[in-house]
Structure 1
Amino acid sequence: MKSNVKTSLTQNIFRIVLALSMVFAGCSHLTFYRIDFQAQVPDWVPLSKDLVVLLSGIVEIALGLILLFWKKQRVNIGWSLALFFVLVFPGNVAQYLGEKDAFGTLNSDRSRLIRLFFQPVLIAWTLWSTGAWQSWRNSKK
C-alpha cells in the first residue's frame, strides 16, 4: 500500500494526540499503573501478568514514538497500531467478564462494559488519522 498518502491538518493533529497517548499509556504500564494493567491480562495467557504488562508497555511506547516521528511509514504504522488494538481487546473483555477493578474508574460492570465500545473507536481513529484507511480505499480503485 502507498505509504505517503496526504493527510489533513486535522488528521495530523489527531495522529499526534494518539501517538502521545500511546507513549503515555506505555509509560504508565511500566510505572504507576503497572498493577492495574495486570487486571486486563486474561488468565489463559501462558506468561506472567507482569511480563505481559511490561512488554505491552514497551510496544505501546515504540508504536507511539514511531507514529510520531516516522512519517514515511505512517500508513503501515497505522495498520500495525490498529492490529495492536485488536490484539489487546481480549484483555479488556477478560477484565469485564472477570469483574476486575482497575484505574479507580473501572470499578463497575457498567464502566468496564462502556470501555469495550471505545476499542473500535481507537481502531477507527488510528486508521483515519494515519491515512491507512484512505490508502486501502485508494488501492481498491
Structure 2
Amino acid sequence: MPTSWQRRAARWVLAAAYLVAGTAHLRTPAGFIAITPDWVPWPAQVVMLTGVAEIAGALGLMIPPLRSAAGMALALYALCVWPANLNHALGDIAIGGTHLGWWYHAPRLALQPVIIWWALWASGVTDWPWRTGAARKP
C-alpha cells in the first residue's frame, strides 16, 4: 500500500502537469482549438475555459479543503476532453505542422483512464486498488 508521501508526490506531479497544460491552453491555444471536435460550440472560448479549469484544479489539489472536489473535477475534466484526444488521433490533425502518429496517440488514449484514476487517488477520493472501503485522508 502506498504511503502518504507517495500520494503527496503524485499530487504534486499531477498539479504541476495540469498547471503546465492549463498555461499552454491560455498562452498557445491554436493547437488545442485545432483538435476540438466540430460539434463543440465556441472552441476558442472552450479551450480558454479548459485552461482555467486545469489551473484551478491544480491549485485546488494543493488546498486541503478543496482537494477532494478538485480531484473529482479533474477526473471529470479528463473524461470530458477525451473526445478531443480521440478527434486528434482519428483526424490525424497536425499541430504546428507535425503529425504525431499512433506512436503518440495510442498510449495517450490508453492512459486517459489512468489520468482519471490518478486525480481521484492523489486527491484522496479513492484508495483503490490498495484498500477497499472509504478513502483515507491524504
Distance in 2 (alpha carbons) for counterparts of 1:13 and 1:103: 33
Cα–Cα, structure 1 residues 111 and 104, in superposed 2: closer, same or farther, change >3 Å?
farther
1:3-25 CA deviation, whole Å, 9 max, x = no partner? xxxx7111011101111211111
Q: How many equivalent pairs are there?
A: 130
Unaligned regions of 5+ residues in structure 1, if any? 1-6
Q: CA shift at 1:131, angstroms?
A: 1.2
Corresponding residue to 2:93 among 87, 100, 114: 100
Structure 2 counterparts to residues 1-12 of structure 1, below 5 A: 8-12=4-8
Q: TM-score, normalised by structure 2?
A: 0.82
Structure 2 counterparts to residues 40-55 of structure 1, below 5 A: 40-47=35-42, 49-55=43-49
Distance in 2 (alpha carbons) for counterparts of 1:61 and 1:46: 22
Higher alpha-carbon deviation: 102-111 or 118-127: 102-111
Is 2:62 aligned against 1:35? no
Q: TM-score, normalised by structure 1?
A: 0.81
Structure 2 residue identity aligned to 1:62: A
Corresponding residue to 2:134 among 129, 132, 138: 138
Corresponding residue to 1:119 among 109, 112, 129: 112
Task: Give secondary structure in 1 for the equivalent of 2:108.
Answer: helix
**Percent of residue pairs identical:** 37
Cα–Cα, structure 1 residues 97 and 19, in superposed 2: closer, same or farther, change >3 Å?
same
Unaligned regions of 5+ residues in structure 2, if any? none
Structure 1 residue identity aligned to 2:115: L
Q: CA shift at 1:106, angstroms?
A: 5.5
Distance in 1 (alpha carbons) for counterparts of 2:92 and 2:120: 30
2:57–2:71 CA contact under 8 A, matched in 1: no
Higher alpha-carbon deviation: 7-16 or 82-91: 7-16
Structure 2 residue identity aligned to 1:53: V
